[in-house]
């Protein structure tokens, strides 16, 4: 849809721009040709054979015919002035008893130009002036203008006006379509830009979750390794292996997310989108860091929307990261409950509490939990967290089963 809107806007706009560039040269050519042919028609007419009352051409009639033709140069840029000059020159030629000749045909073109390129009211006034002028000339019994000629002229004038009015209406509709197309294209660009910003904010939250969790594991394992490096070489080696594995995973996810932030195509196959099934690997790393984590999956497991499962995974990840960083607890519980309308996720640490120092450090975790609360809200869910009267800390969330269910 956006592509068609942009293409329509470009086609109409390009044609309008081309017409604006060429119209002055085209109108100049029309005016010069009209002036020359009007003078030639006047000078070459056998006035005696047409109507014995007609006067032969003189400087006044030649000048009036020349000016009338040249006035068509401004038929688009100054349509009202061009029409007024043309009609005045025609009256001069006719009222002085000269042969109007080609000017009677060009009058139709002048009226058409006025109606097509000016306001509708101007076209109506121009038509009325022409009709009244022909009727008045017939009453005055000017040469070469009978009753049948007047009726025919009036019919042709109405036709010229109707054609010009149709062209004006069509041009107005095209301008309106162009305006609407430009508005739709601008709205589409704004929506695309907003989507990019929202996606980058989402990726930034993902990046925070990955780095915070990985650095917490690395810090804990580095402390363990440093503590047992002399007394228990095997445990120290295992701590180093966990650090290496965690670092590689974090680096892979960080590179992918930074690639998205730069606008690169990371590929679906390489996208490290976590699901609830991946909690086992997450919990294993936390257990190896010294926290005894009990995981319970309740209800019939099923596949949810990727965004829902990723958010559930991040809630568990952030909660366990906070246990590592800010809690004195050595045990944690993870409960995932599949419900008909979604999934409940609950994480609590058991019996640890949080020291005063952790409250100051907790701004980092607060940022993560606040971000997850906002993410859950955007998905149509809810997230709550808080202390358990000195017995631990609890994070609980309810997420819908799909984005459609949320909307």
Per-residue pLDDT tens for 289-304?
A: 888 999 999 999 888 8
Angle between helices 79-95 and 103-117 (to 10 degrees): 160
**DSSP 8-class letter at 130:** H
Query: Residue 314: pLDDT above 70?
Result: yes
Structure token digits, residue 242: 């966990």
Domain boundary, last residue among 187, 215, 241: 187
Residue where one domain finishes, among candidates 156, 187, 218: 187
pLDDT in tens, 335-385: 999 999 999 999 998 765 554 334 333 434 445 788 788 888 878 899 999
Question: Do the Cβ atoms of 342 and 405 come closer than 8 Å?
Answer: yes
Rg (C-alpha) for the chain, rounded Å, is 43
Extract the tokens encoding 208.
């925070």
Q: Is residue 216 situated within a structural domain?
A: no
What's the rounded Cα separation, in Å, for the pair 353 and 329?
Answer: 7
- Number of residues in the chain: 407
Do 181 and 42 reside in the same domain of the chain?
Answer: yes
Query: Is 23 a member of any domain?
Result: yes
User: How confident is the model at residue 123, as a pLDDT?
Assistant: 92
Mean pLDDT confidence for 380-394: 86
CATH code assigned at 342 = 3.30.565.10
- The residues facing 383 across adjacent strands are 397
Last residue of a domain, one of 133, 153, 187: 187
Same domain, 175 and 279: no
- Considering the domain architecture, whether residues 150 and 290 belong to the same structural domain is answered as no
Q: Kind of pairing, strands 292-298 and 331-339?
A: parallel
Q: Is residue 228 part of a domain?
A: no
The helix (H) or strand (E) run that includes residue 399 is strand 392-400
Domain membership of residue 87 as a residue range: 2-187
**Closest Cα to residue 12, out of 170, 235, 212?**
170
Count the neighbouring beta carbons within 10 Å of the beta carbon of residue 264. 11
* Domain-embedded: residue 106: yes
What local confidence, expressed as pLDDT, does residue 141 receive?
Answer: 79
Q: Is residue 367 part of a domain?
A: yes
> Is 143 inside any structural domain?
yes
Per-residue pLDDT for 9 more than 50? no
The H or E element containing residue 213 is: helix 147-228
Q: What band does 20 get if pLDDT is binned at 50, 70 and 90?
A: confident
> Which residue has 């926290």 as its token pair?
291
pTM, entire model: 0.48
- Separation of alpha carbons 358 and 363, rounded Å: 9
Which strands, in side-by-side order, build the sheet including 342-350? Answer: 292-298, 331-339, 342-350, 392-400, 382-387
More confident residue, 215 or 135: 135
Q: What is the dihedral of CA 285, 287, 293, 298, to 10 degrees?
A: 40
**pLDDT > 70: percent of the chain:** 80
Q: Are residues 167 and 293 in the same domain?
A: no
183 and 281 inside one domain: no
Q: Do residue 123 and residue 22 come from a single domain?
A: yes
Same-domain pairing of 10 and 124: yes
Q: What is the pLDDT of residue 199?
A: 62
Angle (deg, nearest 10), helices 306-326 and 147-228: 40
Structural domain count, the chain: 2
Distance of CA 192 to the CA centre of its chain: 6
280 shares a domain with 183: no
């Amino acid at each position: 849809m956006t592509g068609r809107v942009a293409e329509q806007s470009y086609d109409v706009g390009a044609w309008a721009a081309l017409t604006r560039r060429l119209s002055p040269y085209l109108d100049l050519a029309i005016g010069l040709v009209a002036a020359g042919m009007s003078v030639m028609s006047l000078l070459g007419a056998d006035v005696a054979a047409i109507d014995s009352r007609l006067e032969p051409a003189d400087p006044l009639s030649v000048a009036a015919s020349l000016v009338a033709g040249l006035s068509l140069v401004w038929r688009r840029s100054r349509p009202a002035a061009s029409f007024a000059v043309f009609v005045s020159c025609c009256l001069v030629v006719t009222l002085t008893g000269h042969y109007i000749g080609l000017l009677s045909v060009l009058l139709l073109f002048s009226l058409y130009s006025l109606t097509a390129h000016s306001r509708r009211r101007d076209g109506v006034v121009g038509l009325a002036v022409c009709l009244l002028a022909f009727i008045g000339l017939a009453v005055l019994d000017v040469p070469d203008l009978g009753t049948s000629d007047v009726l025919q002229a009036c019919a042709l004038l109405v036709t010229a006006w109707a054609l010009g009015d149709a062209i004006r209406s069509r041009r107005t509709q095209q301008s309106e379509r162009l305006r609407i197309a430009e508005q739709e294209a601008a709205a589409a660009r704004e929506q695309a830009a907003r989507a990019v910003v929202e996606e980058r904010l989402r990726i930034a939250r993902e990046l925070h979750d990955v780095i915070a969790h990985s650095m917490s594991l690395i810090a804990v394992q580095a402390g363990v390794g440093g503590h047992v490096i002399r007394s228990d070489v095997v445990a120290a080696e295992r701590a180093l292996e966990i650090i290496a594995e965690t670092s590689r995973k974090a680096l892979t996810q960080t590179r992918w997310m930074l690639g998205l932030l730069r606008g690169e195509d990371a590929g679906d196959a390489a996208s490290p989108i976590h699901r609830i099934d991946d909690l086992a690997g997450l919990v294993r790393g936390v257990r190896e860091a010294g926290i005894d984590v009990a995981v319970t999956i309740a209800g019939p497991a099923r596949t949810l929307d990727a965004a829902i499962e990723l958010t559930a995974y991040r809630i568990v990840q952030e909660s366990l990261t906070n246990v590592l960083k800010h809690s004195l607890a050595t045990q944690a519980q993870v409960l995932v409950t599949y419900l008909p309308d979604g999934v409940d996720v609950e994480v609590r640490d058991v019996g640890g509490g949080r020291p005063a120092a952790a409250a100051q450090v907790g701004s980092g975790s607060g940022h993560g939990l606040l971000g997850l609360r906002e993410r859950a809200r955007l998905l149509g869910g809810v997230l709550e967290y808080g202390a358990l009267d000195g017995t631990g800390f609890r994070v609980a969330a309810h997420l819908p089963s799909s984005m459609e269910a949320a909307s």
